[in-house]
């Protein structure tokens, strides 16, 4: 069965912005879907979760979910509401967060109550978090907290900012090997064994 990769964009974003078109081009047509989440300039939790949940539908071992910024916590909210049992091949969160951002209090409804990262992670075969060392929108410490919450490896990309087009980001080359390892069903252990 062909893999499905679904990307949740962030606050004030859209499917045609940032690195999303580049990611779509890296795969066969129809593999990567980037839904438009409602009212991105003034996002609300329920419409975002409902729209994303409709796009995702059921998850399985052929599904990889990717969230960017506010799309990360939105993806986690979808997963925590999903009827159990479920199993997800991969989850990749880019410049994400699970606690309230002091600089963006208007997004607080997305982070309260706290997400139970361990309960979500137990259903996901492969997890990864990517961040940047100079992100001024989601400070690196918030992305590190997210990685700890999900017991996921954290990749810090030097000078990546918030991975947005206004700062010149139109691709994240470091993302491809992470996706490809998940598609090949490799864990850090199996990579080590091959060496």
CATH of the domain at 60: 3.40.50.1820
Residue keyed to tokens 């940032």: 18
Strand order across the 32-33 sheet: 32-33, 4-8, 63-68, 88-94, 124-132, 154-157
Cis-peptide, bond into residue 113, ω within 30° of zero? yes
Q: Which residues of 16-33 are buried (b: 16+ CB within 10 A; e: fewer)?
A: ebbbbeebbeeeeeebbe
> Rounded to the nearest 5°, which phi and psi values hold at 13?
-120, 180
pLDDT reported for residue 2 = 81
Mark the ranges of the chain whose per-residue pLDDT is less than 70. Answer: 186-195
pLDDT reported for residue 1 = 74
What's the gap between Cα 108 and its chain centre? 18
pLDDT reported for residue 186 = 66
pLDDT reported for residue 41 = 97
Residue 165 CB neighbour total at 10 angstroms: 14
pLDDT reported for residue 187 = 52
Helix (H, G, I), strand (E, B) or coil at 7: strand
Strands (E) across the chain are located at 4-8, 32-33, 63-68, 88-94, 124-132, 154-157
- Whether 67 and 78 have beta carbons less than 8 Å apart is answered as no
pLDDT reported for residue 67 = 98
Query: Catalytic residue positions?
Result: 69, 135, 162
pLDDT reported for residue 194 = 32
Number of domains in the chain: 1
Query: Domain range holding 102?
Result: 4-194
DSSP 8-class letter at 154: E
23/65 Cα distance (integer angstroms)? 13
pTM for the whole structure: 0.94
Strands (E) across 50-175 are located at 63-68, 88-94, 124-132, 154-157
pLDDT reported for residue 189 = 42
- Whether 76 and 47 have beta carbons less than 8 Å apart is answered as no
pLDDT reported for residue 171 = 98
- Whether 130 and 71 have beta carbons less than 8 Å apart is answered as no
Residue keyed to tokens 């990889």: 64
């Amino acid at each position: 069965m062909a893999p499905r990769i679904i990307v949740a964009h962030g606050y004030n974003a859209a499917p045609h912005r940032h690195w999303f078109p580049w990611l779509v081009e890296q795969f066969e047509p129809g593999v990567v879907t980037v839904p438009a989440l409602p009212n991105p300039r003034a996002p609300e939790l329920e419409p975002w979760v409902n729209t994303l949940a409709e796009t995702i539908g059921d998850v399985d071992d052929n599904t990889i979910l990717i969230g960017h910024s506010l799309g990360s916590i939105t993806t986690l909210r979808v997963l925590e509401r999903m009827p159990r049992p479920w199993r997800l091949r991969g989850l990749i969160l880019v410049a994400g967060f699970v606690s309230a951002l002091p600089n963006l209090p208007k997004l607080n409804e997305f982070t309260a109550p706290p997400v139970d990262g361990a309960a979500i992670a137990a259903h996901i075969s492969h997890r990864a978090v990517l961040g940047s060392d100079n992100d001024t929108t989601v400070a690196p410490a918030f992305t590190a907290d997210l990685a700890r919450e999900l017991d996921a490896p954290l990749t810090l990309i030097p000078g990546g900012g918030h991975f947005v087009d206004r700062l010149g980001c139109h691709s994240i080359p470091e993302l491809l090997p992470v996706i490809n390892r998940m598609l090949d069903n490799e864990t850090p252990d199996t990579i080590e064994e091959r060496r």
